[in-house]
Amino acid sequence: MRLADRVFAPHYAAPIAHVVTARGPLYADKQCSDILSECLIGERFDVLEIVGDVCWGINCVDGAVGYIYRSQLGAAAKCPLIVTALQTAVRAKPATGAAALDTLPMGTRLPAADASGWIPLGKGFVSAEDAAPCPVSKSGDFVAIVEALLGVPFVPGGRSGAGVSHDGLIFLSLMMAGIVAPRFADLQAESLGDEAQGSERRGDLLFFDGHAAIALDSDHAIHCDPVRGAVVREPIAGLSGPDRFGPVTARRRVTA
């Protein structure tokens, strides 16, 4: 019933809370062919309908509504911490030198740490030094997080340290700076901050037709380039050329 004012359906089921246990895409269709966003370990996912091997519902972190494989969900659990490092290791033992069993990207939700400063997770352990309480406290300069994501690969629908889309980069960097933001570029361009006036400033959000970037200053910006396949820094003038993304259609200024 949480979606009654957003999505038409002949009836609405009461949501059943689950937690994501395996990172993967959130799809726009039940055939799981059109990637919409991403679901990360530890995030709450409210299931509204089960269709074979997939569930339809809402990701409670980014608000995206779509389909996820049932195998990616488990029983609801509290995950009060979030990974703040670009990547953190899941180690076989609660020790820095222990073998790494896996890695988890920035944005992953984790259970509470024990008294030793380690977070038990399945058969492994994550250092609490790579995590912070969630939601994250406001830090002011979200562009510093954007800069830390330089080189992260382009992933359709991505919004984690393992890969991002153009609007996923904006969503992740703002979330990690403690700023609430819409998940998708159209709503980001409409509602984030205020309409920017004058020349570009550090942190201005630049929106194009089907793309977005974050200004570093009046001349340069960072964005996730699907052609180069990564988060990159380049001149703003180059982004708005006719053979790239075209003119800027909206510019928003976000303050912490």
Domains, the chain, with CATH or none: 16-75 (2.30.30.40), 81-133 (2.30.30), 143-253 (3.90.1720.10)
Is pLDDT above 90 for 2? no
- Phi then psi for residue 151, to 5 deg, are 90, -15
Nearest to 251 by CA among 187, 208, 211, 216: 208
Is pLDDT above 50 for 10? no
- How far, in Å, CA of 170 to CA of 183, rounded? 8
Tens digit of pLDDT for each residue in 199-221? 999 999 999 999 999 999 999 99
Residue 4 — pLDDT band, cuts 50, 70, 90? Answer: very low
Of the two residues 256 and 40, the one the predictor is more confident about is 40
Tell me how crowded residue 172 is: count the other CB atoms within 10 A of its CB: 27
Residue 252 — pLDDT band, cuts 50, 70, 90? Answer: very high
- How far, in Å, CA of 108 to CA of 82, rounded? 6
Give the tokens for residue 245: 């993304």
State pTM to two decimals.
0.93
Rounded to an integer, the average pLDDT of 48-72 is 97
